């Protein structure tokens, strides 16, 4: 009798989606408006425009930039637009919000590049364990994208999954 070991996981036809492959890469930096306010409260247009002209853009080169204001000040909308206009030629990505929001935005952008045709009518396991902290936002987005195309969606590892969705 042949006592070959059979790998039932590899024969199951499961396809694993590892969200760590879509984890945002690159340096992030915060552009804080408070550093450009008069007395920490008031934005003066002329001085602000001059400060942007003098801004060392090299520190933002190829970085993901979160634009925010940590001071309790009213900032006119056009000021954020000026910042985006100044940073856009050098920054990799610019987002209004804090660094956590920037990370989530970049992660969602990366997940949107998943080639859905690779998962068409497949039994998909969205990997649950790994080295990087994957947020609920990423799992929800991946599930939302895969549900219309996948035969089934599971969470976890191929040897131990939690069923999430099954096409009827």
Tokens of 65: 């930039």
| Mean pLDDT in order along the chain per 10 residues (168 residues) | 49 86 95 88 89 94 96 92 96 96 97 96 93 94 97 92 92
pLDDT reported for residue 10: 47
Alpha carbons 153 and 15: distance in angstroms, whole number: 10
pLDDT in tens, 42-79: 888 999 999 999 999 999 999 999 999 999 888 999 99
Domains in the chain: boundaries: 8-24+111-166, 28-91
Rounded distance, CA 102 to CA 145, Å?
A: 21
Separation CA 127–CA 17 (nearest Å): 6
Q: List phi, psi (to 5°) of 145.
A: -70, -40
| CA–CA dist 166, 62 (Å, integer) | 42
């Amino acid at each position: 009798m042949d006592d070959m070991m059979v790998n039932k996981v590899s024969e199951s036809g499961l396809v694993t989606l590892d969200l760590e492959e879509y984890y945002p890469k690159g340096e992030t930096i915060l552009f804080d408006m408070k550093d450009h306010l008069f007395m920490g409260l008031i934005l003066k247009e002329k001085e602000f425009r001059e400060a942007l002209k003098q801004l060392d853009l090299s520190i933002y080169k190829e970085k993901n930039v979160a634009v925010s204001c940590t001071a309790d000040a009213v900032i006119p909308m056009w000021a954020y637009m000026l910042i985006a206009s100044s940073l856009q030629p050098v920054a990799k990505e610019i987002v209004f919000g804090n660094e956590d929001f920037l990370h989530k935005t970049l992660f969602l952008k990366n997940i949107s590049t998943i080639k859905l045709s690779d998962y068409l009518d497949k039994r998909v396991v969205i990997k649950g364990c790994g080295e990087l902290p994957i947020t609920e936002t990423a799992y929800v987005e991946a599930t939302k994208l895969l549900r219309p195309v996948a035969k089934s969606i599971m969470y976890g590892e191929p040897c131990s999954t939690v069923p999430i969705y099954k096409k009827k």
